[in-house]
């Protein structure tokens, strides 16, 4: 999965690869875990807030979702239990999706900051956009996520445009 673009600042596992960066897991105020953070894009050498990113927490099916807004911010509280996947993608199919695997343990807040590259930026970085999206889709399929769910359909649409 060399083509997988790892752009988040988080310590965890993304599609089986260790991601190193800025760890931030803190106890949440409630019982259920929370994922919160920001979505950004790169403009030259500057990171800028990216509103309108679909953030979806999934197990076998989408559990909860939000759209980043007000400076790329999002916050989702989800039921404690097994680990979850968090998919970051856009409706316009101009940016590559990102995927995080997070703990479902109670009373945790995961702070995640994700940068989504355009397809053109990925190509400039020698990343195969088709291979990247396929790796995200394959990971979610392997986890048993409902293939008919809206996020899976968005990924398939993007894959068909890239293929």
Q: Is residue 1 part of a domain?
A: no
Question: Per the confidence metrics, is the pTM higher than 0.95?
Answer: no
Q: Is residue 6 part of a domain?
A: no
Q: Is residue 143 part of a domain?
A: yes
**What pLDDT does residue 62 have?**
87
Q: Is residue 62 part of a domain?
A: yes
**What pLDDT does residue 11 have?**
33
Q: Is residue 3 part of a domain?
A: no
State the total domains in the chain: 1
Buried b / exposed e over 108-118, threshold 16 CB at 10 Å, is: bbbbbbbbbbe
Q: Is residue 2 part of a domain?
A: no
> Both tokens of residue 11?
């310590």
| CATH number, domain containing residue 22 | 2.60.40.10
Domain extent, residue 53, equals 12-162
Coil/strand/helix, residue 140: helix
Pairing of strands 34-43, 108-115: parallel
Inform me whether the pLDDT recorded for 150 exceeds 70. yes
Instruction: Give pLDDT tens digits for 53-101.
Output: 999 999 988 899 999 999 999 999 999 999 999 999 998 889 999 999 9
């Amino acid at each position: 999965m060399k083509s997988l673009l790892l752009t988040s600042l988080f310590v965890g596992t993304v599609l089986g690869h260790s991601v190193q960066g800025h760890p931030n897991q803190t106890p949440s105020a409630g019982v259920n875990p929370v994922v919160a953070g920001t979505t950004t894009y790169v403009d030259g050498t500057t990171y800028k807030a990216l509103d309108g990113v679909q953030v979806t927490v999934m197990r076998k099916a989408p559990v909860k979702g939000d759209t980043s807004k007000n400076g790329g911010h999002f916050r989702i509280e989800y039921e404690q239990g097994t680990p979850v996947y968090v998919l970051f993608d856009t409706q316009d199919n101009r940016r590559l999706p990102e995927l995080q695997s997070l703990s479902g343990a109670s009373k945790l807040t995961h702070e995640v900051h994700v940068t989504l590259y355009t397809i053109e930026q990925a190509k400039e970085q020698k990343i195969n956009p088709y291979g990247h999206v396929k790796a995200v889709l394959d990971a979610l399929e392997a986890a048993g996520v409902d293939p008919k769910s809206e996020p899976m359909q968005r990924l398939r649409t993007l894959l068909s445009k890239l293929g």
